Structure 1
């Protein structure tokens, strides 16, 4: 029995191969329930998905570590920001300049990679068909498998995969008690199992490896985390050390600077984004949804609904977000992959597959910039809004669609729109996911969009907003 702990909103359109039937997806927040946690930690093996809440996992570090010590095997995916199993190393971003900087190399044999040609891990493309490595160097995008490395590895660790010319540690494993931890520092390892290539072996190999641990039925249930008995201690442990204290609704920002809150669920991208020194001038505040009260939104000037949020956690805040839309002094920004059609008034959605390879192939992906005279374009460059998207929005009448998808000569939906007429607050909605990509260290255009959004809300904040409007959209407050 293998459980895969997941969180956030899975990307729409993903398909599961047959071997995934051996893995049961479990909401990572089930760890907070005693009975569910006992069931999870009685399994043979665990997969920690890249969308899981690291702050949540840290609260259960003792239990997860004991699971491994008792003979369990765990695959940890993505970029570890806060170690949630004893021995985990923190991920470090690689400053790469080209495809060879992120080329993965085999360092030490491991059964999960048996039969895998590492060249098949180097590039990804959505261009239909099966392609040779030589063709992928022309049309593929590198960096999906990994774009960072780990130092200060735990005692007894073995580097499985190196990255770049110096083979910096990307994938590694280490023993912990009677069990083993396997770490993949990139997009979820199981997502690379593709039957068209040698990487198709990864999925079945992973299942065999996870089932091969030494845990038996007699191991019983794992203990709870030591912090569970104290809600106060649990809440304190959950706050990112790099972020300001959770908003309370009574604080005020100095001068005319807006109070900006980033709503998130403790996954690695927002944690790394909040820790980015480049964002410090804007003083973004952490609003960690599992521990925050929805009433904290009343004290914010700008509410940024981070991308790919856990739908259960977001649902608890949806009424407060809608209430914030009735405040003319507020700006609400809703980022991609949040199923806005289910909770945001008046907006529809149509799925479209994500196109991420057009800059390599020259293919026209249909993205068009509209309303060139709109004052918003003072803050957004074409590169900031045309890297990729996750579907089409259908905003209510009166909203200004600045970035659209053109299909067969007709605008079929918006990729980014601004609405200043259908509710008192300013509202910007996009299907792009800049926090995820900025925090992942991937796609420079995403970082540009995030910075542009922060510049926009700061320069046009009330009371400076009236001066902005009277000046014909030419800001003097930057």
Structure 2
């Protein structure tokens, strides 16, 4: 049974894009469009907008009103990356994590984080024995945001913002959450749990009871 909502995903259109060598989105749940086609894309039938890392943020800045209007209609925007332009409501610029040793890259799920439930700190922090692939920084979360994932110092790697707009914004200071699959470790849980969270959040927003 497929997902019960519609997703539009922007493709940066280069080697590090949606299905570049760094990380692949293995599913077909999203309609994928070249990033610059977003300006002419009809969003009326879209529930979730997925914006992965390596997108052209100068272009997105020019489209900030379209993104704001989308959220005003009780929709969801997911941004995975390092924000440096103010195109996403409520999101502060990316800040690099202060690193003194590899343990400063360790990330920890919040107790009630359904997206990262059962995913271990070790599996997120290390890839082939090297730390820092999952996240290397954070965004200051707006007041009232739900924090899902942090560094040991409490800086938020992933958060949900339901207060800055009528919709829901999920910000993850790393790579596309849909790309975590097929690694034969606990990070394989992220993709299906993320999709399940999106489905539930879409339903809540449509019912007009988002918290």
Which TM-score band (shorter chain)? 0.7 to 0.9
Q: 2:132 aligns with which of 143, 157, 175?
A: 143
Q: 2:78 aligns with which of 67, 75, 88?
A: 75
Q: Deviation at 1:178?
A: 3.9
Contact 2:25 2:178 in 1 (8 A): no
Partners of 1:26 and 1:98 in 2: CA distance: 40
Distance 1:72 1:178, change over 3 A: same
2:3 corresponds to which residue?
A: none
1:6 corresponds to which residue?
A: 11
Contact 1:190 1:202 in 2 (8 A): yes
Partners of 1:10 and 1:114 in 2: CA distance: 31
Q: Deviation at 1:144?
A: 1.1
> After the TM superposition, which residues 332-411 of structure 1 pair with which residues of structure 2 at under 5 Å, given as runs?
none
Distance 1:99 1:105, change over 3 A: same
Distance 1:207 1:82, change over 3 A: same
2:38 corresponds to which residue?
A: 31
For structure 2, the 5+ residue unaligned runs are 1-5, 207-211
Q: Deviation at 1:141?
A: 1.0
1:56 corresponds to which residue?
A: 59
Distance 1:168 1:14, change over 3 A: closer
Q: Deviation at 1:63?
A: 1.8
2:196 corresponds to which residue?
A: 208
Partners of 1:51 and 1:108 in 2: CA distance: 30
Q: Deviation at 1:15?
A: 7.2
Is 1:106 aligned to residue 116 of structure 2? no
1:412-463 alpha-carbon deviations (Å, 9 max, x no partner): xxxxxxxxxxxxxxxxxxxxxxxxxxxxxxxxxxxxxxxxxxxxxxxxxxxx
Contact 1:2 1:211 in 2 (8 A): no
1:161 corresponds to which residue?
A: 149
Is 1:94 aligned to residue 97 of structure 2? yes
Partner SS for 1:111: coil
> After the TM superposition, which residues 431-450 of structure 1 pair with which residues of structure 2 at under 5 Å, given as runs?
none
2:169 corresponds to which residue?
A: 181
Greater C-alpha radius of gyration = 1
Larger fraction in helix: 1
Partners of 1:107 and 1:113 in 2: CA distance: 8
Q: Deviation at 1:109?
A: 2.4
Contact 1:121 1:192 in 2 (8 A): no
Q: RMSD of aligned C-alpha atoms?
A: 2.2
Q: Deviation at 1:14?
A: 6.0
Distance 1:86 1:29, change over 3 A: same
Distance 1:187 1:17, change over 3 A: closer
Partners of 1:204 and 1:25 in 2: CA distance: 19
Partners of 2:155 and 2:97 in 1: CA distance: 9
Partners of 2:31 and 2:46 in 1: CA distance: 10
1:167-204 alpha-carbon deviations (Å, 9 max, x no partner): 21111111044421111112223333345011111111
- TM-score, scaled to structure 2: 0.82
Partners of 1:41 and 1:99 in 2: CA distance: 45
Q: Deviation at 1:64?
A: 1.0
Q: Deviation at 1:41?
A: 5.2
Partner SS for 1:145: coil
- TM-score, scaled to structure 1: 0.38
